Each structure stands twice: as C-alpha cells, then as structure tokens.
Amino acid sequence: MDDCIFCQIVDGDIPARVVYEDEDVLAFLDANPIAPGHTLVIPKTHYETLGDVPAEHANRLFAAIHSLTPVVEDAVDADASNIGFNNGAAAGQEVPHVHGHIVPRFEDDGGNPIHAVAGSPPNLGDDELDALADDIAAAADEPRD
C-alpha cells in the first residue's frame, strides 16, 4: 500500500526506531509515545484490522508481541504493561495497518486499565448474556480462513 505510513516504514522509505524484525513482523518505537518504551508491533504485510489477518500471520504477530513484551518492560524498568489493538476506526485506530501497542506501565503512573477505553457500560440481563455467549460460541466454531 503506497500511501500507508507503516508500509513505508516496512519498505524503509521513512525512518523508524526499529527494535525487532523478522520475516513477517516489524516492531518499532511509537513516534508519539504515551509511556517510555511504547512500542508498535505490525505484520509486514498490509492488513487493516485483526479480522483481515490470516491465522498464520496472526500467530507470528502474537508470538512477537509475546516475546517482546518482557524485553520492552525490562528496557524501561516497567512494573507492568498494557497490550492493545485499536481495531477499527470506531475503536480509535488512526493508522489503517494493523498494529499492537505495547505500553509499559509503572506503579502510580496515573494511567488506567484497559476497561477505560469503552463508552457507557451496557446493562445486560442474564438472558441477553446467555444469548450472546451462545451466538459467539456458535460463530467461534465456524472456520474463518
């Protein structure tokens, strides 16, 4: 994707502070970090959201996040981290090339848990929760790719 800023980083056309690279995955420091060590992990192939990523690439993406997270935490002497994807524009995704955020966290840093990202919590009754769980469980059994 010529006009994708993360594809341009993958291609070496614009600079980034790369911290990890393999055949399928690139990780680099966020240019506007919300914490020291804030790192983005992307598939080198352009996919817009997680649902677009084939299983094999998703596995490699998660493997990189899994191995990088403690490395990033240690590098900035963090106490913890939040790992998240803004998955789609309505969820705050601004760069339409799927990327996981590793955000190091520190005791008393004034931040919030991941629960703070959503709007007003829904008021769902037991029947609605049961139906939702059934629907998702049935759909989760369907092959996706």
By CB under 6 A, residue 82 contacts ligand AMP: no
Task: Check if the beta carbon of residue 59 is closer than 8 Å to that of residue 17.
Answer: no
Determine, following the binding rule CB under 6 A, whether residue 111 of this chain makes contact with ligand AMP: no
Nearest residue (CB) to ligand AMP, 90 versus 138: 90
Both tokens assigned to 2: 């010529």
What phi and psi, each to the nearest 5 degrees, are found at residue 24?
-115, -15
Residue in 1, 5, 50, 83 binding ligand AMP, rule: CB under 6 A: 5
Q: Verify binding: residue 46, Zn ion, rule CB under 5 A.
A: yes
Among residues 38, 57, 97, 99, the one annotated as catalytic is 99
Picking from 28, 98, 104, the residue whose alpha carbon sits closest to that of residue 61 is: 98
Binding of residue 1 to Zn ion (CB under 5 A): yes
Q: Does the active-site annotation cover 99?
A: yes
Minimum distance, C-beta of residue 104 to Zn ion, in the bound complex (Å): 25
Separation between Cα atoms, residue 125 and residue 39, nearest integer Å: 39
Residues at the interface with Zn ion (CB under 5 A)? 1, 4, 6-7, 46, 97
Residues at the interface with ligand AMP (CB under 6 A)? 5, 14, 16, 28, 30-32, 40, 86, 92-95
Catalytic sites, residue numbers: 99
